[in-house]
Amino acid sequence: METFDYVIVGAGSAGSVLANRLSEDAGTTICVLEAGGRDWHPYIHLPAGFIKTFHMKSVNWAYQQEPGPYTGGRSIYAPRGKTLGGSSSINGHIYNRGQRQDFDTWAQMGNRGWGYVDILPYFKRMERRVGEGDETFRGREGPLTVTTMDWRDPLCEAFMAGAMSLGIPRNPDYNGAIQEGVSYCQRTIENGLRMSAAKAFLHPARKRPNVDVRTHAHVTNIIFEGKRAVGVRYLRGGKGGTPVEIRANKEVILSGGAYNSPQVLQLSGVGSPDLLRSHGIEVRHALPGVGEGLQDHYAPRSVARVKNIKTINELRKGWHLWVEALKWATTRRGLLSLSPTMVYCFWHSGETAESSDLQITFTPASYKEGVQGALEDLPGMTCTSWQQRPESRGYVRIRSSDPFAPPIIQTNYLTAELDRRVVVAGMKLARRLLKSEPLAPYYDYEDFPGPKVQSDEELLSAATQRGTTTFHPGCTCRMGPADSTWAVVDDQLRVHGLSGLRVIDASVMPRMISANLNASTLMIADKASDLIRGRSSPEAVRLAS
Ligand SMILES: Cc1cc2nc3c(=O)[nH]c(=O)nc-3n(C[C@H](O)[C@H](O)[C@H](O)COP(=O)(O)OP(=O)(O)OC[C@H]3O[C@@H](n4cnc5c(N)ncnc54)[C@H](O)[C@@H]3O)c2cc1C
């Protein structure tokens, strides 16, 4: 059987960082197994290609969630990257780390070394920030380029002026000392091209002789000897392909993402005994927290029709598109270099929220049915609002013992009372922002939720009819103490009760953070690489309290 020191399952955000950092030790051998193919498709690299990869099954798992109590009977679509770079190859490019309190809460939950001052050095060492930023918080020499949106649009400017007219300050860097305020987005885009985790971390690592990256390698289960993980089994070529077993001398690392890492554990007999037995899977290790605790951000998209100016809805059609294509080909700028979101605003749902609990985005475009996959034909602008730190939790459970059956994904959006309250407050703020004085020359009328929707009950009902995921699932293999009922991994990300096995990806977050998840997932993997290599952490950053 082929043997490597480390076998990494999944070449996504986390897997790419791990492959890079672990292979810095020339004597260490690493095999990365990725179910998807190579990341050659031009739509991955062209920022505006987001709208295409959103549904492209060749690079996307394209999951469907189960209808929940507050999704109006709808099954919400859940895209996930299935290619080198994983979800970072199809995501919306936003770079947003979260708030200091998010990570201090992780530490408070019993996770040593995960407080903000401990993890800030990892955010810094990974990034090459281009643009504004205080050196206390921002890195300038890392492999991951982070730029600020450079397209200037009168609607975006008017939106920001509108926010300021409501008392929301302009913030030059929401990844700096404080998140609150309004600003253009920071993105993982360099020279008009996507900066995926594969581009920043995996492709440089592949040039090293000690890294073997295998695509179309779908891992079906972990191989154990007693309580020790010693390798994995995968199908070369995917479904119907040739079964292959490889061994890990040191560790098997699951980086399959928040839906697939718990799925692989459950298929391997690690999880809730009742669930495993109900699918005829022998219980290798009872760990009821596997797959439980799923969290995500839930967002209704408020839309206004626009007059007196062109929005992206019209600019992407006919001869305009040809002009934009030429612009991108010659200057790497213009419409095709844009992310789906352009302006970010962090604010409070009410006076009692100590730090901003609402994340609000603005785009001079609108989408069919409020879902980002297809633009509308009429001119429109969208203000999306979501609660940053939801309390509702759901689960990911295998549907059957077939490794190719998509897992059951139940996020239970809005089941916590606080979540419903904050989401309604977000819609009210979105409405005020769209109706602000500076946007008045362009504001035609409210399309969604519509002027008839006024009371809290009506707003909540509208949210349940049209809200969608913001694509931030996490917390399905939570990090926490061994004596808790919910933790799956310890604060070194080792699976409780087993050896030779870690989970390192968005699923280990113990609690949802006030951010999109790519930046923090990369940080988790970078810190984990030091834990694995037994290297001391970079010195904690000293901050005024
Ligand atoms: C459409 C979309 C938009 C998003 N927008 C943003 C954004 O703008 N900003 C932001 O910060 N975050 C965004 N996110 C979220 C962010 O990209 C993810 O949270 C992050 O990439 C998760 O990293 P990960 O390593 O946990 O998983 P992933 O990056 O998803 O990696 C998991 C990898 O494992 C592979 N895999 C899974 N199962 C197996 C198996 N059995 N065998 C082999 N390989 C397997 C997958 O194919 C994938 O490549 C978005 C996500 C999506 C899908």
For this structure, is 472 an active site residue?
A: yes
- Helices (H) then strands (E): counts for the chain: 15, 27
Grade residue 337 by pLDDT with cuts at 50, 70 and 90: confident
The pLDDT, as a whole number, for residue 251 is 98
Distance CA 155, CA 152 (A): 9
Segment 86-95 shows an average pLDDT of 98
pLDDT digits (tens, 9 = 90+) for 425-457: 999 999 999 999 999 999 999 999 999 999 999
Q: In this structure, are residues 36 and 16 in contact, taking their beta carbons and an 8 Å threshold?
A: no
Threshold 0.85, pTM exceeds: yes
- Using only C-alpha atoms, the chain has a radius of gyration, in whole angstroms, of 22
Q: According to DSSP H, which parts of 7-67 are helical?
A: 13-22, 42-45, 50-53
Centre of ligand 1 from the C-alpha of residue 372, in Å: 17
Atom of ligand 1 nearest to the CA of 93: 8
Q: With 90 as the cut, is the pLDDT of residue 8 above it?
A: yes
Segment 12-34 shows an average pLDDT of 98
The pLDDT, as a whole number, for residue 336 is 87
Q: With 80 as the cut, is the pLDDT of residue 365 above it?
A: yes
Segment holding 219, helix H or strand E? strand 217-225
Centre of ligand 1 from the C-alpha of residue 395, in Å: 17
- Both tokens assigned to 126: 């990974």
- Which amino acid, 73? G
- Which amino acid, 511? R
Distance CA 123, CA 137 (A): 8
Nearest CA residue ID for atom 49, ligand 1: 86
* Residue 422: closest CA among 455, 389, 467, 374: 389
pLDDT digits (tens, 9 = 90+) for 226-238: 999 999 999 999 9
Q: Which residues share a beta bridge with 181?
A: 346
Q: According to DSSP H, which parts of 201-272 are helical?
A: 203-206, 257-267
The pLDDT, as a whole number, for residue 543 is 83
Segment 448-473 shows an average pLDDT of 97
Distance CA 471, CA 517 (A): 9
Segment 302-306 shows an average pLDDT of 97
- Both tokens assigned to 319: 């001869």
Centre of ligand 1 from the C-alpha of residue 12, in Å: 6
Grade residue 4 by pLDDT with cuts at 50, 70 and 90: very high
451-486 burial string, b = 16+ CB within 10 Å, else e? eebeeeeebbebbbbbbbbbbbbbbbbbbbeeeeeb
Q: What is the DSSP letter of 499?
A: B
Residue 474's φ and ψ, nearest 5 degrees, are: -160, -175
Centre of ligand 1 from the C-alpha of residue 518, in Å: 8
Pocket test for ligand 1, best of 517, 524, 527 (most atoms within 8 A of CB): 517
Q: Which residues line ligand 1 (CB under 6 A)?
A: 9-15, 33-36, 54, 79-82, 86-88, 90-94, 96, 218-219, 255-258, 260, 264, 471-472, 505-506, 516-519, 521
The pLDDT, as a whole number, for residue 331 is 87
Distance CA 493, CA 495 (A): 6
Quick one: three-class SS letters along 58-81? CCECCEECCCCCCCCCCCCEECCE
Sheet holding 292-294, edge to edge: 292-294, 394-397, 408-410
Those residues with Cβ within 8 angstroms of residue 543's Cβ, 6 or more apart along the chain or in another chain: 100, 116, 117, 120, 136
The pLDDT, as a whole number, for residue 423 is 97
Q: With 90 as the cut, is the pLDDT of residue 1 above it?
A: no
Q: Kindly name the residue from 93, 203, 218, 472 that is annotated as catalytic.
A: 472
Centre of ligand 1 from the C-alpha of residue 448, in Å: 30
Pocket test for ligand 1, best of 91, 97, 372, 398 (most atoms within 8 A of CB): 91
Q: With 80 as the cut, is the pLDDT of residue 353 above it?
A: no
What is the percent of the chain where pLDDT is above 90?
Answer: 89
Atom of ligand 1 nearest to the CA of 16: 25
Segment 107-133 shows an average pLDDT of 96
Nearest CA residue ID for atom 53, ligand 1: 80
Q: What is the DSSP letter of 508?
A: G
The maximal CA–CA distance of the chain, rounded, in angstroms, is: 69
Distance CA 261, CA 282 (A): 18
Pocket test for ligand 1, best of 87, 404, 512 (most atoms within 8 A of CB): 87
- Token look-up 């972990």 returns 222
Nearest CA residue ID for atom 2, ligand 1: 91
Q: How far is CA 178 from CA 101, 305, 315, in A?
A: 11, 33, 35
Residue 456's φ and ψ, nearest 5 degrees, are: -60, -40
The pLDDT, as a whole number, for residue 328 is 87
Average pLDDT score over the chain: 95
Centre of ligand 1 from the C-alpha of residue 90, in Å: 8
Grade residue 334 by pLDDT with cuts at 50, 70 and 90: confident
Pocket test for ligand 1, best of 518, 520, 526, 529 (most atoms within 8 A of CB): 518
- Both tokens assigned to 35: 């179910």
Q: In this structure, are residues 302 and 449 in contact, taking their beta carbons and an 8 Å threshold?
A: yes
Q: In this structure, are residues 122 and 527 in contact, taking their beta carbons and an 8 Å threshold?
A: yes
- Which amino acid, 331? T
Segment holding 250, helix H or strand E? strand 242-254
**Does residue 513 sit in helix, strand or coil?**
coil
Question: Lowest-confidence range among 52-66, 134-148, 371-385?
Answer: 371-385
The pLDDT, as a whole number, for residue 320 is 83
Distance CA 1, CA 22 (A): 22
Centre of ligand 1 from the C-alpha of residue 257, in Å: 6
Nearest CA residue ID for atom 31, ligand 1: 12
Q: With 80 as the cut, is the pLDDT of residue 544 above it?
A: no
Segment holding 344, helix H or strand E? strand 343-347
- Both tokens assigned to 378: 């009429």
Segment 493-501 shows an average pLDDT of 98
Grade residue 315 by pLDDT with cuts at 50, 70 and 90: confident
- Both tokens assigned to 411: 């996020």
